[in-house]
Structure formats: structure tokens, C-alpha cells
Amino acid sequence: MFTTYRHTEIGLELPDELCSAPNQQLWSCVEQELILPWFYLQVVRRHGRELNATMLMLYHAQELKQYVDYQSTRTWIEQVQLVTPPYMNGQARWLMEPLQQVSLVEAPTDGTHFLVFKVTSGSTYSLRDDLDLTLPAIRVLFCAETDLRHTR
């Protein structure tokens, strides 16, 4: 999860009619308390003829799936990056890579379900490093080929 602190909140002194979202809050920083992978999404929203792109930070693959499922002609996802910690990506630093696919697979040893992440470079990651990452998917939660949409 991402944590925010009141002392990092940015106060907006704008008249009510200039605020686009009445419940919107701005923060100068967020803290990531869990050293787990997360997703960085570019979402485009259409307002009349105008297109506005924003970036979202999500922790859970199920949230990513919800954004994919709720895409429309007015809101869509253009790109998704997977951000992985060093212990997961085998590097000495965090990596941000274009995400290709997120699949739910079943471990043949104990029947538990776990996620497998594939990035466009061909690397495959999971929080479980003790199993074969080429196991067949029970369910695909995200596939860049079919789930990303681009402004044309």
C-alpha cells in the first residue's frame, strides 16, 4: 500500500468552481511501506474533444483487472509498467518495465494460486520463486496485446 501523511498534503486555495474533483487531495509524496511489486498505469480520459492522460499507481493485480474491465470510449489504459524490487528482479535496484501479461497459476505441489508477471523483455517474475514460472494460466488478468488501447 501507499501511505500519505497530512504534513505532505498540498493545500489548494482555489474557488470551488475551479476544482475539477471536489474530493481530490494532492500530496507532495507517498510512502511505500511494503517492498512488493506494483503497477504504474497511464490512463487516458476523454472530455469532449480533449484527451487527458494521468498516471496511477496500483498495488494489486485485481485492481488492474478492474481498470481493464471498466475501460470505455471515454476512459482507457494506454500503458502499464511493472515496478519490481531487487529481490524479485535479480538486480541491485528497482526496475520499471513494460508489462506484457499477468496470469494466475496453480502450484502443482500444494494447489495454491499465485501470480506470474511477464514483461516485454521476456523476463518472468513471481513472488514465489520455488515453482516453474511456465505453468499454464488458470486465468489471465491482464494482456497488453488485448487490453491496452491507444489514442489514434
Dist. CA 139–CA 20, nearest whole Å: 37
Look at 89 and 135; give whichever has higher pLDDT.
Answer: 89
When the pLDDT of each residue in the chain is averaged and rounded to a whole number, the result is 88
Residue 152: pLDDT band by 50, 70, 90 thresholds?
Answer: low
**Residue indicated by cell numbers 502443482:** 108
Residue 98: pLDDT band by 50, 70, 90 thresholds?
Answer: very high
Whole-prediction pTM value? Answer: 0.85
Dist. CA 77–CA 67, nearest whole Å: 8
Question: What's the confidence (pLDDT) of residue 125?
Answer: 94
Question: Across residues 105-118, what is the average pLDDT?
Answer: 91
The answer on pLDDT for 53 being more than 70 is yes
Residue 57: pLDDT band by 50, 70, 90 thresholds?
Answer: very high
The answer on pLDDT for 50 being more than 90 is yes
Question: Across residues 83-100, what is the average pLDDT?
Answer: 96
The answer on pLDDT for 107 being more than 80 is yes
Q: Are 131 and 107 in contact (CB under 8 A)?
A: yes
Question: What's the confidence (pLDDT) of residue 91?
Answer: 95
**Cα 53 to the center of its chain, rounded Å:** 15
Q: What is the DSSP letter of 135?
A: P
Burial label for 29, CB within 10 Å (0-12, 13-18, 19+), is exposed
Dist. CA 26–CA 35, nearest whole Å: 24
The answer on pLDDT for 14 being more than 70 is no
Dist. CA 123–CA 101, nearest whole Å: 11
How many CB atoms sit inside 10 A of residue 37's CB?
Answer: 21
Dist. CA 12–CA 14, nearest whole Å: 6
Give the CA count within 13 Å in the CB-facing half-sphere of 57.
Answer: 13
32, β-bridge pairs: 2
